[in-house]
Amino acid sequence: MADGRMTVLNAFPCRTVPANKNLAYLEEGCYRQRYVLGDTAMQKMAQSHVFLSGMGGLGVEIAKNIVLAGIKALTIHDTKQCKTWDLGTNFFVREDDVLNLRNRCEASLHHIAELNPYVQVMSSTTPLNEVTDISFLRQYQCVIVTEMKLSLQKKINDFCRAQHPPIKFISADVYGIWARLFCDFGDEFEVLDTTGEEPKEIFISNISQSNPGIVTCLDNNPHKLETGQFVTFREVNGMQCLNGSTHQITVVSPYSFSIGNTVDMEPYLHGGIAIQIKTPKIFHFQQLEKQLINPTCLVADFSKPEAPLQIHIAMLALNQFQESFAPAQSLGCWPQVNEDTVKWLSRMAQGSLAPLTAALGGVASQEVLKAVTGKFSPLQQWLYTDAFELVTFLEKVSHEEFLPRGDRYDALRACIGDSLCQKLHRLNVFLVGCGAIGCEMLKNFALLGVGTGRERGMVTITDPDLIEKSNLNRQFLFRPHHIQKPKSCTAATATRNINPQIKIDPYLNKVCPATENVYNDDFYTAQDVVVTALDNVEARRYIDSRCLASLRPLLDSGTMGTKGHTEVIVPHLTESYNSHRDPPEEEIPFCTLKSFPAATEHTIQWARDKFESAFSHKPSLFNKFWQTYPSAEEVLQRIKSGESLEGSFQVIKCLSRRPRSWPQCVELARLKFEKYFNHKALQLLHSFPIDTRLKDGSLFWQSPKRPPFPIQFDINDPLHYSFILSTAKLFAVIYCIPFTEKVSLQLEGVEFVVQTDETVRKPDPIPISSEDERNAVLQLETAILANEATKNDLQMKELAFEKDDDSNGHIDFITAASNLRAKMYNIEPADRLKTKRIAGKIIPAIATSTAAVSGLVALELIKIVGGYPFQAYKNCFFNLAIPIIVFTETAEVRKTEIRNGISFTIWDRWTIYGKDDFTLLDFINAVKEKYGIEPTMVVQGVKMLYVPVMPGHVKRLKLTMQKLVKPAANKRYVDLTVSFAPETDGEEDLPGPPVRYYFAHENN
């Protein structure tokens, strides 16, 4: 078998770049992707061999994404030499490759290989045609072809299907502003997890004794299940036979479902959880030959549902023309092909639109990962997508604009014409964030030539973060030697390598109110477009407000695992980002965290809170106190004199218990174990015994409340040991004590007193008693006499939670503490990876969806530059796991009517230019004269400048504007809000648009 494989390789010679095994890439760098795929899929992927033909823009995009993902080996194939044209499509081809006539495959090989040292990347330049022996393909689990004749695709597809098991076949191409993707994974392709979502857990309030039995959700929480899915049960009291059994469900309502006959079961009492069971699903595919005649298409844009079939017919005709210069064969009773589609496809087919290539490359790459892992629902079987909206502008452009000019932008020029290319070159763009989406956007900018104009054009980027190892598997501009270097500067250098003509100005600032001296009004006014590549809503909302104020277009996008969204915001045409709000995240009730956890998420959040309290909050209070009162002697004297010092008793208590050695840190950790996992349970059970009942006679301890069970410490239990070790280490860090990995627990002589009376409940705040004062004085005197209140003793190190540094012990503590609490409450524990995700609020991420959203955003950028009408813009939501892709029109900006035909939108701002002696009355009259309506109220932020019903406000009409309002630093104006009298008495005043008042010196 080994000899046979060598023969295949010799018949189809490959050049190999050996993988560097010295980097812990998968374990330390891919955890965000592991949240998306799971360990099983990651392992399958890391054993897969993939063949990819065609190293144009689409081929290199797919290669980038699947190598970043972590397949075992990739063979890239191409027979073409690098041309100037390729500089605008293949971001790994350099000018030197063109001058030296290198093969596209060889030029890209090293760049692709260095993306992931764990992937073996090989190249082949052997011709692949109808007479080639393709038996070498047997060694691959997946074959991807791009830029290949249709007849050869059919041959390879038939060969792949004939193998046992069948080799997964994917074909993808971009023709100008049109793109297609085809998948064939064989007659029967098993998928173990079709969605990748966490199995749902539903708390139960009742199960009926009936046929069928109806399961009702607790507190009317929706179950979000679908008919035909399966569930199992646990912790059901009464119908004991249900526990551990599996049932297919039928949805009755959003809050109930049926499970079959429960008549003969014992009556339901209380409690219980229904857990969704993921079941395998078989997908059936047809070969390419059959699908060409009767295609199964995914519709992405329901505003033009006929488009996929129209493009399919047009592309098929184009393929047949290219191969034989003959008319297309009869294709049955299909609709007549759209003439515009054929006309523009024939004109642009040789071109390549880089953003569309990026978008399709992201989707195609996800299909490759599905093919080799069996994770997620595969595409069945065609995806056609386009940027046909661009044609509305291009119809006015002369044919000469599309002709090649011998530069790197010829492939783009063939799609959008030279005028749009020039506008892109002269563009000023502000990109906020240089992470995963930011890197992809910069690649797209470089290929489009954004910011390359001689006289005008600049890409300004900013990101305050440094590069971490965990960034490398999706932020493709960064390499291992870039770790701990600034993202923005590194990304700028890498982007210039793609296109030396691009001008980039990198910053290291966060964009927020504190940096408005840097990113001021003049800065935003100088930008043509703002693009966000952020991971939080707060920053998006702030930047949106700045774009709204400066009338700048904004392009926003984001991903979460296989899901992604894009949103285009255009002045005067669309609503802004802040026009709608996502529902707030549900917070876990305090009582649930403190005493009544019911799910793993509760125990993890509790552990995270304990970390913050013990290792961040308390040290912070300790340090602030001793910064206010610099000596223990001074504090002692003040307390003795009867002075009340806020926080003094807690701080003195902390000082008196300060450990002085590593064994004392271990002892302190051991005390915490007893407090958290033994005493707390005993206290709760003392206050609320197991048989406690409520006033209505129902049990206190019933779902979702779980009774706790005290844990007896066992040094030989790995979980107990892990908690002691991690907790002791953190105490050693905050108290600046050297520590070792060895934990010696000689604690037999230490007594752990358990209180079980009512006083264990935390009392309400009461005035400090003289006994507390005496204890504080005694403790502080003792510390001073023992020389344990020195300057060094009055300092602690505050810890900021950091999820990405595995050596700091933060996640170790939270994992151990969370799982011990879960054990105490009989809750399913979580592994370290899940704990890290929840505690660190980590957003799952994968390069495929990142590439897709960046491409879709760049498509909208072209429309903004071209000044397209409202109907041309598209927002998008996709979930590549299902897969589903939905394009929608943007939300049209709403008009607010005032009266008499006067209206405004969120983009409108009225302006008034004042003079030195301009009074408030002059301002009101100026608004009336200029805009035809008289203000009845003037407000600046929360400050009421003029409200007639307020005492003394009428006198303000004579005051100058300079006395009433002051501009902020570096501002030459103030923004005011005006309101107008309603048409009908008794109604509220009508708010108008913002009014920007410029002071007199503006006119000089």
Closest CA to 187 of 123, 83, 283: 283
**Does residue 300 belong to any structural domain of this protein?**
yes
Domain boundary among 368, 386, 404: 386
Cβ pair 86, 98 in contact under 8 A: yes
User: How sure is the predictor about 982, in pLDDT bands with cuts at 50, 70 and 90?
Assistant: confident
Q: Which of the given ranges, 5-14, 430-439, 463-472, has the highest pLDDT on average?
A: 430-439
pLDDT computed for residue 315 by the predictor? 86
pLDDT computed for residue 639 by the predictor? 85
**Does residue 434 belong to any structural domain of this protein?**
yes
Is 899 a residue whose pLDDT tops 60? yes
Instruction: Identify the residue with better confidence: 620 or 21.
Output: 620
pLDDT computed for residue 986 by the predictor? 61
Q: What range does the domain containing 218 cover?
A: 201-277
pLDDT computed for residue 742 by the predictor? 59
Q: Which of 398-412, 832-846, 892-906 has the lowest mean pLDDT?
A: 892-906
pLDDT computed for residue 962 by the predictor? 86
Span 518-545, pLDDT tens digits = 999 999 999 999 999 998 899 999 999 9
Span 14-62, pLDDT tens digits = 544 444 443 344 445 577 888 888 889 999 999 999 999 999 999 999 9
pLDDT computed for residue 329 by the predictor? 44
User: How sure is the predictor about 593, in pLDDT bands with cuts at 50, 70 and 90?
Assistant: confident
Residue with tokens 């046929």: 211
pLDDT computed for residue 4 by the predictor? 29
User: How sure is the predictor about 500, in pLDDT bands with cuts at 50, 70 and 90?
Assistant: very high
pLDDT computed for residue 915 by the predictor? 86
Q: Are residues 214 and 302 in the same domain?
A: no
Q: Are residues 570 and 451 in the same domain?
A: yes
For the chain, what percent of residues have pLDDT higher than 70? 91
User: How sure is the predictor about 9, in pLDDT bands with cuts at 50, 70 and 90?
Assistant: very low
**Average pLDDT of 670-699?**
93
**Average pLDDT of 104-108?**
96
CA distances from 985 to 468, 924, 936, 947, 982 (A): 63, 21, 13, 17, 7
**Does residue 765 belong to any structural domain of this protein?**
no
Q: Are residues 436 and 367 in the same domain?
A: no
CATH of the domain at 941: 3.10.290.60
Is 638 a residue whose pLDDT tops 90? no
pLDDT computed for residue 341 by the predictor? 77
Is 1003 a residue whose pLDDT tops 80? no
Query: Roughly how many angstroms between the first and final C-alpha of the chain, as a whole number?
Result: 87
Is 766 a residue whose pLDDT tops 60? no
Q: Are residues 526 and 660 in the same domain?
A: no
**Does residue 838 belong to any structural domain of this protein?**
no
Q: Are residues 945 and 970 in the same domain?
A: yes
Q: Are residues 854 and 965 in the same domain?
A: no
Q: Are residues 210 and 342 in the same domain?
A: no
DSSP secondary-structure letter at 366? H
Span 948-962, pLDDT tens digits = 888 889 889 999 998
Total number of domains constituting the chain: 5
Report field, pTM of the whole predicted structure over 0.95: no
User: How sure is the predictor about 318, in pLDDT bands with cuts at 50, 70 and 90?
Assistant: confident
Is 166 a residue whose pLDDT tops 80? yes
**Average pLDDT of 431-442?**
97
Long-range (24+ apart) CB contacts under 8 A made by 124-128 are 124/12, 124/13, 124/14, 124/15, 124/75, 124/76, 124/77, 125/77, 125/78, 125/79, 126/12, 126/13, 126/77, 126/79, 127/79, 128/53, 128/77, 128/79, 128/152
DSSP secondary-structure letter at 406? S
Q: Are residues 6 and 122 in the same domain?
A: yes
Span 112-148, pLDDT tens digits = 999 999 999 999 999 999 899 999 999 999 999 999 9
Instruction: With both helix axes pointing from N to C terminus, report the angle between 847-866 and 57-69 in degrees, rounded to the nearest 10.
Output: 140
Is residue 454 packed enough to be buried (19+ CB in 10 Å), middle (13-18) or exposed (0-12)? exposed
Cβ pair 77, 129 in contact under 8 A: no
Cβ pair 844, 564 in contact under 8 A: no
Strands 230-234 and 246-248: antiparallel
Q: Are residues 263 and 306 in the same domain?
A: no
Catalytic residue (one of 415, 591, 654, 665): 591
Cis geometry, peptide bond prior to residue 212 (ω within 30 degrees of 0): yes
**Average pLDDT of 861-873?**
95
Q: Are residues 292 and 348 in the same domain?
A: yes
**Average pLDDT of 402-419?**
94
CA distances from 556 to 61, 553, 721, 946 (A): 22, 10, 47, 38
User: How sure is the predictor about 256, in pLDDT bands with cuts at 50, 70 and 90?
Assistant: very high
Span 640-661, pLDDT tens digits = 888 888 888 889 988 989 999 9
pLDDT computed for residue 24 by the predictor? 41
Instruction: Identify the residue with better confidence: 908 or 742.
Output: 908
Closest CA to 581 of 551, 544, 532, 548: 544
Element (H, E) at 50: strand 49-53
Arithmetic mean of pLDDT over the chain: 88
β partners of residue 921: none
- What strands lie across the sheet with 230-234, from one edge to the other? 246-248, 230-234, 273-277, 201-207, 214-217, 256-258, 250-253
Closest CA to 413 of 769, 895, 106, 862: 862
**Does residue 36 belong to any structural domain of this protein?**
yes
The C-alpha atoms of residue 855 and residue 444 are separated, in whole angstroms, by: 7
pLDDT computed for residue 948 by the predictor? 86
**Does residue 863 belong to any structural domain of this protein?**
yes
Q: Are residues 799 and 926 in the same domain?
A: no
Span 49-97, pLDDT tens digits = 999 999 999 999 999 999 999 999 999 999 999 999 999 999 999 999 9
The string over 83-115, giving b where at least 16 C-beta atoms fall within 10 Å of a residue's C-beta and e elsewhere, is: bbbbbbbbbbbbeebbeeebbbbbbbbebbbeb
Instruction: Identify the residue with better confidence: 757 or 585.
Output: 585
CATH of the domain at 488: 3.40.50.720
pLDDT computed for residue 581 by the predictor? 74
82 is catalytic: no
- Quote the tokens at residue 987: 């109604």
**Does residue 902 belong to any structural domain of this protein?**
yes
CATH of the domain at 734: 1.10.10.2660
Is 686 a residue whose pLDDT tops 50? yes
Instruction: Identify the residue with better confidence: 1002 or 591.
Output: 591
The C-alpha atoms of residue 256 and residue 218 are separated, in whole angstroms, by: 10
Cβ neighbour number for residue 53 with a 10 Å cutoff: 23
β partners of residue 974: 997
DSSP secondary-structure letter at 699? B
The conformational region for residue 290 under phi > 0 = left, psi -120 to 50 = alpha, else beta, is alpha
Is residue 791 packed enough to be buried (19+ CB in 10 Å), middle (13-18) or exposed (0-12)? exposed
**Average pLDDT of 186-197?**
94
**Does residue 634 belong to any structural domain of this protein?**
yes
Domain boundary among 277, 298, 315: 277
CA distances from 742 to 669, 745, 909 (A): 14, 10, 67
Is 1004 a residue whose pLDDT tops 70? no
Q: Are residues 939 and 800 in the same domain?
A: no
User: How sure is the predictor about 266, in pLDDT bands with cuts at 50, 70 and 90?
Assistant: very high
β partners of residue 384: 180
Domain boundary among 277, 307, 325: 277
